Amino acid sequence: MSLLGEDIVTGKGEFVINIGPQHPSTHGVLHLKVWLDGETINKIQPHLGYIHRSIEKMSECLSYRNFIYVTSRMDYLSAHINNQACALAVEKGLQIEATPRGRVIRLLMAELTRLQSHLLWWGCTGLDLGAVTPFFYAFREREAIMDIMDETCGARLTMNYCVPGGVMYDVHPNFQKRVKDIIVQLRSRFDEYDQLLTGNVIFEQRTKGVGYLSPEDAVSYGCTGATARGSGVSCDIRKWFPYDGYENVQFNEILGKTGDCYDRYMVRMAEMKESVNIIEQLINNIPEGDFQAKTKMVLKLAKGEYYQRVETARGELGVYIVSDGAASPYRIKYRSPNFSNLSALEVMAKGAKIGDLVAIMSTIDLVIPDVDR
């Protein structure tokens, strides 16, 4: 038998199937080619590029003010943190720093972004593994966070709030009160989340001991974020190379032990609590003053190279700008966390059952536009 000129049963008796590009558990247009021996995965090969928009090429045609907005469309769940990375890279080139007020607002928004991203992930993980209820609970809190973002900058998802030198507008007068409300609400809900999913017997059996990733492989494959931290690899950029004042706030880097799906899950759950801690420390201490530093109309970076890495909700995002002194970048590279995390799928899924593939993919927390860019 053959399909599009390729054998669907190999000489070794393996059955080759395609999962995606239109499949609910791939969280976007990801195409996986899987070689199966019965139910066991022998080999897996991701096929990418279904929504490749060449964001790097687009950025090279835009000015240093405008290219920031394109990056919201990469990892749309961490849009603000992507913008922050670009703004920081441009600030490095201009040798300016954001104003103290701008920096704190950025951090607050970044942690709110991380919270809403993890909440969405938590709901979807439940959904992937057959628990529909968590999704509605997650969206209850997530909507409240989205409303804060809407009120602050007019957009719920692609925020475009960061500009070189600070943030675009000042926060809404209601901002502090609403953020404090959501913190109180979240604190009381974390136990509820654990009761719903974490301690569930079916959930534990489907995630414990599944999708093992060794610490050596995690580093070698360039995994970052909770995917690597679940294996016990320290890689939190907020701790390693602090930016925008992360050095002044108290929080812990959460590390897992076993490197299976359950640990990656637990790392993210604990990270949410840490994000709430960070917000709590900052929300009453927003400095007075300008929210944006004064910059020239047309930004031109000195000839040279600038690299900025930040911790998005999924891991390390690197923005590498090569400038030749013109008003738009000569070369931009986005080192996206998901691209590297996805490459480790072949070791995580090898030997697993086809049903476990869904659990593995959902705990890597894939966002496909970030993979394809």
Partner 1 sequence: MTSEEIKQSVTALFSDVIYDETGEFLNILINASELRPLMELLYSKTEFKFDYLFCLTCIDWKTHLTMVYHLLSKKHRHNIVVKAKIADTNKPEIETVCDIWKTADFHEREVYDLFGVKFLNHPDMRRILLDEDWVGYPLRKNYADENMIKL
Residue from 17, 194, 331, 351 touching partner 1 (CB under 8 A): that is 331
Burial class (CB in 10 A: 0-12, 13-18, 19+), 171: buried
Strand partners of residue 305 = 322
Instruction: Rule CB under 8 A: say whether 54 interacts with partner 1.
Output: yes
Instruction: Rule CB under 8 A: say whether 318 interacts with partner 1.
Output: yes
Residue from 209, 222, 242, 245 touching partner 1 (CB under 8 A): that is 222
Instruction: Rule CB under 8 A: say whether 335 interacts with partner 1.
Output: yes
Footprint (CB under 8 A) of partner 1, residues 148-187 = none
Instruction: Rule CB under 8 A: say whether 3 interacts with partner 1.
Output: no
The one segment of 12-20, 188-196, 199-207, 342-350 that binds partner 1 by CB under 8 A: 342-350
Instruction: Rule CB under 8 A: say whether 340 interacts with partner 1.
Output: yes
Instruction: Rule CB under 8 A: say whether 131 interacts with partner 1.
Output: no
Instruction: Rule CB under 8 A: say whether 306 interacts with partner 1.
Output: yes
Instruction: Rule CB under 8 A: say whether 61 interacts with partner 1.
Output: yes
Instruction: Rule CB under 8 A: say whether 326 interacts with partner 1.
Output: no
Footprint (CB under 8 A) of partner 1, residues 236-275 = 240
Instruction: Rule CB under 8 A: say whether 221 interacts with partner 1.
Output: yes
> Minimum Å distance from CB 27 to partner 1?
18
Alpha carbons 193 and 210: distance in angstroms, whole number:
21
The one segment of 105-113, 277-285, 289-297, 314-322 that binds partner 1 by CB under 8 A: 314-322
The one segment of 21-29, 35-43, 45-53, 289-297 that binds partner 1 by CB under 8 A: 45-53
Alpha carbons 226 and 264: distance in angstroms, whole number:
6
Footprint (CB under 8 A) of partner 1, residues 68-97 = 92
Interacting residues toward partner 1 by CB under 8 A: 48-49, 52, 54, 56-57, 61-62, 92, 217, 219-222, 233-235, 240, 304-307, 309, 316, 318, 320, 322, 330-331, 333, 335, 339-340, 342-344, 372-373
